[in-house]
Amino acid sequence: MKNIREGLIPTVLGTAVTTAGMVMKQNRKIDSMISNTVFGFGLAHIVLGTIDLIEHRHKL
C-alpha cells in the first residue's frame, strides 16, 4: 500500500462514480437530480484527486 501515490484512490473512485452517474442519467426511471448529484460528486473526486496527484508528484 505504500507504493500507491496520494490522490490516486480518489481519482479512480471519482471515475467510477462519474460513470455510475452517466449510466443513471441514461435511465429515465431515476430522478435527474439524483443522477446529476452522483455525477457531480464523481467529478469533484476526480478534480480533488488530480490536484493531490499533481501536488505530490515529486514525492515518490
SS (H, E, C) the chain: CCCCCCCHHHHHHHHHHHHHHHHHHHCCCCCHHHHHHHHHHHHHHHHHHHHHHHHCCCCC
pLDDT of residue 4: 75
**Model pLDDT for residues 1-36, shown as the tens digit of each residue:** 567 778 899 999 999 999 999 999 998 888 999 999
pLDDT of residue 43: 96
pLDDT of residue 59: 56
pLDDT of residue 47: 96
End-to-end CA distance of the chain: 13
Where is pLDDT greater, at 56 or 33? 33
56 has a pLDDT exceeding 90? no
* Residue partners of 55: CB distance under 8 A and separation at least 6: 7
- Taking the C-alpha atoms of residue 55 and residue 58, their distance in angstroms, rounded to an integer, is 8
